[in-house]
């Protein structure tokens, strides 16, 4: 019995010390438990190790809409090259292969005589079907199948979700909430972000990086003036801003429509500083396949200009002086340090499959967050104080023991949330208040059973044993029921509902430990010793 008592005391001591370590870690533990990025705390009553939600510490709330039509249009545009290549491979001459609308590709054969061979060739394109056939004119339309359209929409939203999540992670936001809403919407909540415009620019940038050869034969000024470019080319603009006058200068370039390399060929991107000018630039490195293409390209294009295009805008168009076998390139453009950092982040995270548009934006100010915290904390303190007074009046010493268990319950709950990096929200605080009520209710249930045993004439020790034994099954039933409810809320809920479910579940488990294990330990220490106990304060 004594050995078991010692073991139980040791368990409680470990739980208390462990909880304190998670909430108020000493310097040598802080980095190991939480890394170096422990957020600042806007309220002194809460430990700095607790992550606070958007409703408590402020931040930005965005609802983004993914342009799914643009994603399908881009896929159709890429399929144009595939269709042309398939027909060329079969020796079928065409006069026109071009996108029509969002999902269609119009094909005009050079000769109607090759109709049969063309139909056989395009039948290999599983994602497209032939419609509007005109054999006499040698013309038909390839339409993307409805199943493929549906799959592309789903994949585009998922890819956008993953890309945004990667960008936000690299931006360094603690406990962001990023989830899909409906068919094409993405909810982004970034607690603690103080630079909403920078965050929006980082998240919303498509970041489609392309390397395109400049067509040196074309006159870009004339192309810009007359809006006419050679077939297979396109007109792009480079915008340069004078740092002193802030005047914008637009430089036109005629470049090949087809990109020779894209951001998908990159392995990494990082910020570097130009030793001569002191300006930051982004240094990119291609993967092995991209490095090989880049090496062959630079070897075959010495003396030509290579345009580095991001989201349709030319950032720079350096002249290729020699073959570059290292697979490294630089993106310059008069960046500030923040702009270069954000560009490196989006390039590492990859391009969005389609443009996104901010449909809804809400900014929660820090003052509102502090006010919310104060109200939440004081409501918790008021609830706890009411319970403490009630238990002291009605159960005296036993009520004091229950109050100690209640304090330990709160300590474990907050430490567990800090340890699991859970986010405390206003609904989470509501869950804590509810947990306080349930924890006390458990103790009341046990105390009333003990009172019944005492009224039945049992001794103090027998009444305590019987009281805990009789209440145990009921306590387990109620706690498991609430735990199941919390699990369902977590599985099917979103955002604040999940926060409520997490705090409720952790609180219930802590309540089970404190009400049954800790309270019984204190009773055993006071009443179950070798000396005879005639009465109990309950």
Q: Write down the residue that tokens 């899909």 correspond to.
A: 180
Give the mean pLDDT of 201-218.
84
Tokens found for residue 82: 């595939």
Highest-confidence range of 115-119, 260-264, 315-319, 345-349, by mean pLDDT? 115-119
Which residue did the predictor score with more confidence, 530 or 137?
Answer: 137
Helix (H) or strand (E) holding 330: strand 328-331
Is 374 in contact with 396 (CB distance < 8 Å)? no
Task: List the single range of 385-394, 403-412, 416-425 with lowest mean pLDDT.
Answer: 416-425
Sequence-separated (6 or more) residues with CB below 8 Å from residue 162: none
**47 pLDDT tier (thresholds 50, 70, 90):** low
Tokens found for residue 366: 């820090």
pLDDT recorded at residue 365: 65
**Beta strand pairing call for 51-52 and 423-424:** parallel
pLDDT recorded at residue 12: 92
Please say if the pLDDT value at position 276 is more than 90: no
Give the mean pLDDT of 299-321.
85
**2 pLDDT tier (thresholds 50, 70, 90):** low
pLDDT recorded at residue 253: 92
Is 78 in contact with 88 (CB distance < 8 Å)? no
3-state class of 297 per DSSP? Answer: helix
Please say if the pLDDT value at position 439 is more than 60: yes
**254 pLDDT tier (thresholds 50, 70, 90):** very high
**492 pLDDT tier (thresholds 50, 70, 90):** confident
Burial pattern 185-214, b for ≥16 Cβ within 10 A else e, equals: bbbbbbbbbeebeebbebbbbbbbbbbbbb
Give the mean pLDDT of 287-294.
86
The proportion of the chain whose per-residue pLDDT surpasses 70, expressed as a percent, equals 91
CA distances, 25 to each of 47, 81, 133, 174, 281 (Å): 10, 59, 73, 19, 39
**Beta strand pairing call for 139-144 and 177-181:** unpaired
pLDDT recorded at residue 181: 84
Give the mean pLDDT of 298-318.
85
Sheet of strand 139-144: strand arrangement = 94-100, 104-109, 139-144, 128-134
d(CA 107, CA 315): 35
> What's the chain's length in residues?
538
d(CA 402, CA 412): 15
Task: List the single range of 117-126, 398-407, 445-454, 479-488 with lowest mean pLDDT.
Answer: 117-126
d(CA 13, CA 33): 20
**45 pLDDT tier (thresholds 50, 70, 90):** low
pLDDT recorded at residue 372: 65
d(CA 325, CA 306): 16
Please say if the pLDDT value at position 19 is more than 80: yes
Which residue did the predictor score with more confidence, 232 or 151?
Answer: 151
d(CA 59, CA 54): 6
Give the mean pLDDT of 305-333.
83
Please say if the pLDDT value at position 243 is more than 70: no
Give the mean pLDDT of 29-53.
61
Q: What are the tens digits of pLDDT across the range 454-465?
A: 888 888 888 888
d(CA 467, CA 469): 5
Q: At residue 227, what are phi and psi to the nearest 5 degrees?
A: 55, 40
pLDDT recorded at residue 15: 92
For the question of whether the overall pTM of this predicted structure is more than 0.75, the answer is no
> Any idea of the CA torsion for 131, 132, 136, 137, to the nearest 10 degrees?
-110
pLDDT recorded at residue 285: 86
């Amino acid at each position: 019995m004594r050995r078991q008592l010692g073991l139980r005391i040791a368990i409680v001591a470990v739980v208390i010390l462990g909880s304190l370590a998670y909430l108020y870690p000493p310097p040598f533990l802080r980095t190991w438990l939480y890394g170096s990025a422990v957020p600042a705390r806007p309220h002194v009553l809460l430990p700095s190790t607790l992550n606070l939600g958007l409703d408590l510490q402020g931040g930005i709330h965005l609802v983004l809409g993914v342009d799914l039509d643009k994603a399908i249009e881009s896929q159709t545009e890429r399929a144009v090259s595939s269709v042309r290549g398939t027909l060329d491979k079969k020796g079928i001459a065409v006069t026109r292969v071009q996108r029509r609308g969002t999902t269609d590709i119009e094909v005009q054969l050079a000769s109607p005589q090759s109709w049969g061979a063309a139909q056989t060739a395009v039948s290999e394109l599983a994602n497209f079907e032939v419609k509007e056939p005109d054999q006499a004119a040698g013309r038909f339309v390839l339409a993307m199948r409805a199943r493929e359209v549906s799959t592309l929409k789903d994949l585009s939203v998922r890819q956008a979700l993953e890309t945004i999540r990667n960008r936000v992670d690299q931006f360094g936001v603690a406990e962001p909430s990023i989830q899909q809403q409906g068919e094409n919407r993405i909810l982004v909540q970034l607690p603690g972000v103080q630079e909403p415009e920078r965050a929006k620019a980082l998240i919303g940038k498509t970041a489609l990086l392309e390397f395109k050869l400049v067509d040196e034969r074309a006159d870009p000024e004339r192309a810009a003036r007359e809006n006419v470019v050679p077939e297979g080319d396109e007109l792009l603009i480079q915008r340069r801003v004078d740092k002193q006058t802030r005047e914008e200068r637009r430089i036109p370039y005629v470049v090949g429509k087809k990109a020779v390399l894209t951001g998908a060929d990159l392995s990494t991107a990082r910020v570097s500083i130009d030793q001569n000018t002191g300006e930051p630039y982004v240094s990119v490195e291609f993967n092995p396949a991209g490095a090989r293409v880049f090496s062959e390209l630079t070897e075959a294009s010495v003396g030509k200009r290579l345009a580095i295009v991001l989201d349709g805008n030319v950032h720079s168009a350096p002249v290729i002086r020699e073959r570059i076998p290292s697979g490294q390139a630089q993106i310059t453009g008069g960046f500030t340090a923040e702009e270069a950092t954000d560009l490196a982040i989006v390039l590492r995270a990859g391009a969005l499959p389609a443009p996104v548009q901010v449909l809804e934006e809400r900014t929660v100010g820090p003052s509102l967050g502090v006010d919310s915290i104060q109200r939440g904390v004081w409501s918790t303190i008021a609830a706890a104080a009411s319970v403490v007074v009630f238990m002291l009046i009605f159960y005296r010493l036993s009520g004091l023991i229950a109050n100690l268990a209640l304090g330990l319950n709160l300590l474990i709950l907050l430490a567990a949330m800090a340890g699991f990096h859970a986010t405390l929200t206003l609904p989470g605080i509501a869950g804590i208040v509810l947990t306080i009520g349930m924890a006390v209710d458990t103790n009341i249930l046990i105390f009333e059973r003990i009172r019944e045993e005492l009224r039945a004439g049992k001794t103090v020790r027998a009444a305590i044993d019987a009281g805990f034994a009789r209440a145990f099954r009921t306590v387990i039933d109620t706690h498991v029921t609430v735990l199941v409810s919390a699990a369902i809320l977590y599985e099917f809920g979103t955002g604040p509902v999940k926060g409520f479910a997490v705090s409720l579940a952790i609180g219930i488990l802590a309540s089970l430990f404190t009400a049954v294990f800790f309270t019984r330990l204190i009773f055993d220490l006071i009443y179950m010793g070798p000396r005879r106990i005639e009465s109990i304060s309950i």
